[in-house]
Amino acid sequence: MRRLLQKKIITGKNPEQAFSYAIHREIRVDKYASCNGLEFIVFDTKAIKLILHLSIDEIEDKWDELYRILSPLAFTKPYIFDYRPDFGLWCLKAGLPLDTVQHFIDCGINAIGKVDENAYTFSIGIPIEKMCLASFDFEKNSFNAFIQQVPLEKRELIKYSLTHQPFKYTPKSENESFRISFSATMGTDIVDNGDEAFIPLIVKSFG
């Protein structure tokens, strides 16, 4: 009986009907769910595989996973669930003195952008207890020292990206990224964009 119900909820007319509702021009949702009293499943209109497949008995234990997929925030601000703790905040809460010089060796760049005519910012990932995101600011007078660490074949692209809209370079793969070494200290400004807060570190030297 359980196997029969499972077939009806995953394949056949019931999921086909649910899909037709999901793609209706007056609804048009990316995710939709179905339940037969024994199992709960979540589909994505753009994918073949199920996003989630739970027995009813598992829902309480896997509520966090379900929330990440079907909560209002999952639809309005999905990037929140990919949030990584900020390294600057981690250092502040851990009591690290502001003048402590930290050395970062051979770090892969996640993104770099031009803040204004006199300042740049970049980010890297730092594994601590879990992967943190660290932001670093540096001034225009340090740009030459920075660019000297960029591989020759990427220098012109980086320069172009930082002088033309949207004034940033975001590698889409490891091949497009590059690695740099530098030293930095804690910043004092807490940046709050409404969804998250972070403290950029200040680069003291490159190389």
The domain spanning residue 137 has which CATH number? 2.40.50
Looking at the fold, whether 19 and 52 belong to one and the same domain comes out as yes
Q: Are 52 and 66 in contact (CB under 8 A)?
A: yes
Helix (H, G, I), strand (E, B) or coil at 110: coil
Cite the beta strand spans of 80-130 per DSSP E. Answer: 102-108, 111-116, 119-127
> Smallest Cα–Cα separation from 48: which of 79, 19, 13, 82?
19
Looking at the fold, whether 155 and 133 belong to one and the same domain comes out as yes
Q: What is the mean pLDDT of residues 170-177?
A: 88
Looking at the fold, whether 95 and 73 belong to one and the same domain comes out as no
CA distances from residue 6 to 38, 75, 78, 188, 200 in whole angstroms, order as listed: 8, 27, 29, 56, 50
Q: What is the mean pLDDT of residues 67-83?
A: 69
The pLDDT value given to residue 5 = 47
The pLDDT value given to residue 116 = 93
The pLDDT value given to residue 143 = 97
Give percent above pLDDT 70 in the chain.
Answer: 89
Task: Using the 3D structure, point to which of 64, 82, 100 is the last residue of a domain.
Answer: 82
Distance (Å, whole) CA 128 – CA 50: 32
Looking at the fold, whether 108 and 75 belong to one and the same domain comes out as no
Looking at the fold, whether 96 and 72 belong to one and the same domain comes out as no
Looking at the fold, whether 23 and 45 belong to one and the same domain comes out as yes
- Indicate whether 83 pLDDT > 70: no
Looking at the fold, whether 92 and 173 belong to one and the same domain comes out as yes
What is the end-to-end Cα distance of the chain in Å, rounded? 67
| Number of domains present in the structure of the chain | 2
pLDDT digits (tens, 9 = 90+) for 141-163: 999 999 999 999 999 999 999 99
Residue 199, amino acid: I
Task: Using the 3D structure, point to which of 82, 113, 128 is the last residue of a domain.
Answer: 82
Residue range(s) defining the domain that contains residue 174: 87-206
Q: Hey, what long-range contacts does 28-34 have (CB within 8 A, 24 or more apart)? A: 31/69, 31/70, 31/75, 33/70, 34/9
Lowest mean pLDDT among 13-27, 115-129, 183-197: 183-197
Helix (H, G, I), strand (E, B) or coil at 174: coil
CA distances from residue 161 to 107, 113, 117 in whole angstroms, order as listed: 20, 8, 14
Q: Sorting pLDDT into bands at 50, 70 and 90, what band is 174?
A: confident
Strand order in the sheet with 39-44: 31-35, 39-44, 52-55
Q: Are 31 and 43 in contact (CB under 8 A)?
A: yes
> Smallest Cα–Cα separation from 67: which of 79, 55, 57, 81?
81
Q: Give strand pairing partners of 124.
A: 134
Q: Sorting pLDDT into bands at 50, 70 and 90, what band is 129?
A: low
